[in-house]
Structure 1
Amino acid sequence: MREGTKIHFARQLRREMTTAERYLWTRLRRRQLSGCRFRRQHPLGPYIADFVCIEKMLVIEIDGSQHGEPGTDARRDAWLRHQGFKVIRCWNHDVVDRTDQVLASIAEALATPRPAG
């Protein structure tokens, strides 16, 4: 996907966030979690991450039923990890129904130092 097209698509995704994405965004925005700044629907290489904290190199992906093909997600996760990102995947229903546990997992990942390299 061309860079300009990807940016346009990311903007469209920001306008059309899923219920779970909107719900999590209200808890991540404005440095509410561990004082870290998150971006939503942010282009990273050939992909668009649901949420990313650049400072902590953490990507959060919110998965629904469309993520039934593990090969696609595995390639994406491998590429992101190769770039130095940690990747957390959460199911839509967990974000809505188990918000505190999801936020605790994210906070733990933010607190975990990245390996030197």
Structure 2
Amino acid sequence: MPNKHHNRKEFLDRRKELRKKLTSAEAFLWKHLKAKQLEGRKFHKQHSIDWFIVDFYCPSEKLIIELDGQVHMNPVAHTHDEKRTEHIENLGLKVIRFENKMVFENLPSVLEEIKNNFTSSSL
């Protein structure tokens, strides 16, 4: 059943563009999420929810993973991220965030934190 909040057609070109130009942290994490590598969960990269495009989305878990680089490290961006997270969580989804450097410096911990946010039993 299509969800009116997900992958709106007006964002298709932007999603495709972002998928082709993943940040280095996104590309690194994607290697470990794609093809159901993480406990059999399917993830989508650059998925749109309403007017936001999230880095990674796991539909079975209603889980969103966002990676934050330097551009997110200022008060204006932080406020925007908080509002964005609040909107998305009001749709019944969960958002977890990691700094890019965490993905590179402590990938096992990042993957464990993602798994700790799985609510359904193994797929």
Q: TM-score, normalised by structure 1?
A: 0.90
1:23-71 deviation digits (Å, cap 9, x = unpaired): 0000000111111000000111110010000111000000001112211
Instruction: Specify every segment of 5 or more residues in structure 2 that has no aligned partner in the other structure, as ranges.
Output: 1-7
- Secondary structure of the structure 2 residue equivalent to 1:66: helix
Instruction: Specify every segment of 5 or more residues in structure 1 that has no aligned partner in the other structure, as ranges.
Output: none
The amino acid of 1:57's aligned partner reads: K
Q: Which runs of 4+ in 1 moved over 2 A?
A: none
- In 1, Cα distance between equivalents of 2:12 and 2:92: 22
Q: % of aligned pairs identical?
A: 34
- TM-superposed CA distance for 1:5, in Å, is 4.1
Q: Does 1:65 align with 2:73?
A: no
- In 1, Cα distance between equivalents of 2:79 and 2:24: 25
The structure 1 residue matched to 2:107, chosen from 86, 91, 99, is: 99
Corresponding residue number in structure 1 for 2:93 = 85
The structure 2 residue matched to 1:52, chosen from 54, 57, 82, is: 57
- In 2, Cα distance between equivalents of 1:93 and 1:20: 8
Corresponding residue number in structure 2 for 1:38 = 43
Corresponding residue number in structure 2 for 1:28 = 33
**Structure (1/2) with the larger helix percentage:** 1
- Secondary structure of the structure 2 residue equivalent to 1:87: strand
- In 2, Cα distance between equivalents of 1:5 and 1:92: 28
